[in-house]
Amino acid sequence: MPLVDIDLIIGGPQGGGIDSAAQIVIRAFSIAGYEAYGIREYYSNIKGRHSYFHVRIKETPVRSLRYPVDLLVCLDYESPFVHMDDVSEKTKVLYDEDLINTKLDQVLTMEPETKKHVMDKLKADGFDTTLAGAINYMKKKGATPYPVSFRSLVVGALGPNKPPARYANTLGASLAMALMGLPAEFTSRGIESVFGKKKEVVEDNEKIIKTGYDFVKSHNNVNIKELPVRPAKDKYILTGNEAVGIGKVIGGLKLQTYYPITPAADESFFLEGHDYFETSMGDEIDKENEVLKNTGVVVVQAEDEISAIAMAISGAMTGTRTATGTSGPGFSLMAEAIGYAGINEVPVVVTLYQRGGPSTGLPTRNSQADLMFAINAGHGEFPKIVYSSGDVPEAIYDSVRVFNYAEKFQVPVIHILDKNLANSFFLVDKMDYSKIKIERWKLAEDGENIERFKFTDDGVSPMGLFGKNIIWLTGDEHSELGHITEDPETRDAMMVKRMTKLQTILNEIPKEEQVEFIGNPTADVTLLSWGSNKGVILSVFERLKSEGISANLVYVKLMNPFPTKLVTKYLSGAKVLIDLENNYTAQLATLVKQNCGIDVQNFILKYNGRHTTDDEVYEGIKRVLEKKEKKVVMIRGA
């Protein structure tokens, strides 16, 4: 067992610096030589509603989170109510004692349904519906409360002229790291890493750190064991959004279009805010990737998603590596244009970040319910690739691969990720550029009236480009030259030509890029899954192994065309097969039944929009194995 394994939640109002507090914690621990992983949960408003960051710190690489947490930091009066079931006898609860008499009815930012659930629990256990009642509720569960007057400590550190609310986040982070036993020097370095360009802010927060650590030391009932410092490694701290952006630049992105939508827009904002040569990876990219030298990226905010996909398709027609990014509602608007890219065999990439639906649904919450939509987007039948990523390193390398796939096979590619990956913070090792290969298209010779849609054995024609060739592109069926035709024989031949690409894709994409099989082939239990569930499943395998239960994972990345033979091979020997997804209808399991004829019987599903955790997956597997439950629904999360 690792010496250090800490789960921490920092909760407070949206706009209250929760992200900054989490960044300080992650950076401070990484500087001290530890690994970290965190997910941000937030409402779809600008400011005021409850937001929190769930972070896990370990000595070994972190792939998942768990409940109950070891430390709960409440920066407002809502957090104790929202998270009072996330604690146990090992949990330290840090809260603002000045708010102790706050009544639940006074928490105006809490949703009525949530308020009712909390009120019912407090009343059922005989506690007042006040913050004091919530603290007593957590004490009954074994948690240890630590009351703090945030206002008094900030005023004591900085004087009466600095607004206490502005420093509550860094004070909370400092108190948390003091309680966890991290030496103060690393907290200072974490704050300097976050606010290093703001000298006055750093100076003020140095005083906040000292105040926080002195406060913890002055309490005799606090038994703190200082954590050992480990050799630090060079790492990148990246979100999934940033990883995709970096991967696209490495892969040769020249034009990115978008219309702002959560959680996709953060990727384009990242690209807008970081000139290629100014990124932290810039020097290494210059050295290792000659293709990218002296090139830039154009990022365009379109007037809507229809314009964004149309611009991206137009860019791709010139030979430019082009992509657009969106989420469910925006992707709905792109469906017609994706069909246009399909019939014209345009190599455009669409990055689809899934969120809760339908319609506006849960704009800032997680989902894996767009899988079938992505596969079937666009009317009629045409080849497209739907490709999934599950963690930050994958997202970087896959963002290069999908450009290669688009160009090599001349098809639109939907790169599908989920919100958990988009909004997660990972510590990532330096890039291995030996894994990166740029593949280009079959390019037509210079000239006029080329046969852009020439019939070939593999379905892939020589690529003609605007500015190089004279080519004909319409939204209609066409001849090899691209001229509109309704001739039935030509229609048949063109359909066969295009659809032949599906088998070409399966033949030429390396098998390990289609499906990963992880674990012992003769294991007691087989998990089938995709996306960001990969990390949490592998973490649970370690726990199962300690109980004598062996497990393996069939992790699918290529969703369309579906790798039927590979998936069938990997699933055919399963003793107990469990499908784990973040949707209601088990969409991957449906694909398996359609393509492989394997009828999955056991499911662990989550669709409330919150992140999946170790304890949920472990409990779900045990319930299937021991209680013979066929369908387990995970419900944890605030």
Q: Which amino acid type is present at position 257?
A: T
Which secondary structure element, helix H or strand E, spans residue 133, and what is its range?
Answer: helix 131-140
The percentage of the chain sitting over the pLDDT mark of 70, rounded to a whole number, equals 96
Same domain, 161 and 279: no
- Establish if 371 belongs to a structural domain: yes
The CATH number of the domain holding residue 312 is: 3.40.50.970
| Predicted pLDDT of residue 32 | 95
- Establish if 226 belongs to a structural domain: no
What is the SS3 assignment for 242? helix
- Establish if 230 belongs to a structural domain: no
Same domain, 430 and 461: no
User: 263 preceded by cis ω (within 30°)?
Assistant: yes
Last residue of a domain, one of 435, 453, 477: 435
Here the tokens at position 313 are: 């398709």
Same domain, 175 and 262: no
Q: What is the pLDDT of residues 214-257, one digit of tens each?
A: 999 887 666 788 899 988 888 889 999 999 999 999 999 999 99
The CATH number of the domain holding residue 560 is: 3.40.50.920
Q: How far apart, in whole angstroms, are the C-alpha atoms of residue 382 and residue 498?
A: 7
- Establish if 275 belongs to a structural domain: yes
**Mean pLDDT taken over the chain:** 92
Q: Over 90: is that where the pLDDT of 626 sits?
A: yes
Same domain, 481 and 527: no
Here the tokens at position 35 are: 């690994």
Q: How many domains does the chain have?
A: 4
Q: How far apart, in whole angstroms, are the C-alpha atoms of residue 400 and residue 436?
A: 7
Q: Over 70: is that where the pLDDT of 293 sits?
A: no
Q: How far apart, in whole angstroms, are the C-alpha atoms of residue 322 and residue 346?
A: 10
User: DSSP character for 229?
Assistant: P
Mean pLDDT of 289-308: 79
| Predicted pLDDT of residue 199 | 84
DSSP count for the chain of H helices, then E strands: 22, 21
Last residue of a domain, one of 414, 435, 456: 435
DSSP symbols for 409-469: HT--EEEEEEHHHHTEEEEEPPP-GGG-------BPPSBSS--TT---SSSPPPB--BTTB
The CATH number of the domain holding residue 52 is: 3.40.920.10
Structural domain span for residue 401: 237-435
- Establish if 228 belongs to a structural domain: no
Last residue of a domain, one of 218, 247, 266: 218
Q: How far apart, in whole angstroms, are the C-alpha atoms of residue 214 and residue 209?
A: 8
- Establish if 48 belongs to a structural domain: yes
Determine how β-strand 424-428 pairs with β-strand 35-41.
antiparallel
Q: Over 50: is that where the pLDDT of 294 sits?
A: no
Q: Over 70: is that where the pLDDT of 421 sits?
A: yes
pTM for this structure? 0.94
Collect all residues with Cβ–Cβ distance below 8 Å to 265 and sequence separation of at least 6.
258, 325
Same domain, 491 and 578: no
Same domain, 22 and 133: yes
Lowest mean pLDDT among 130-144, 418-432, 504-518: 418-432
Q: Over 70: is that where the pLDDT of 444 sits?
A: yes
Mean pLDDT of 33-52: 90
Q: Are 637 and 611 in contact (CB under 8 A)?
A: yes
Here the tokens at position 422 are: 């988009």
Angle among Cα 415, 417, 419 to the nearest 5 degrees reads: 150
- Establish if 120 belongs to a structural domain: yes
- Establish if 227 belongs to a structural domain: no
Confidence band of 2 (pLDDT split at 50, 70, 90): low
Same domain, 376 and 301: yes
Same domain, 610 and 529: yes
Same domain, 59 and 201: yes
Same domain, 460 and 374: no
Same domain, 496 and 362: no
Q: What is the pLDDT of residues 54-106, one digit of tens each?
A: 999 999 999 999 999 999 999 999 999 999 999 999 999 999 999 999 999 99
Same domain, 396 and 269: yes
Q: What is the pLDDT of residues 502-556, one digit of tens each?
A: 999 999 999 999 999 999 999 999 999 999 999 999 999 989 999 999 999 999 9
For the chain, the 3-state helix, strand and coil shares in percent, each to the nearest 5, are 40, 20, 40
Q: What is the pLDDT of residues 462-488, one digit of tens each?
A: 998 888 888 899 999 999 999 999 999
| Predicted pLDDT of residue 288 | 45
What is the SS3 assignment for 279? coil
More reliable by pLDDT, 295 or 159: 159
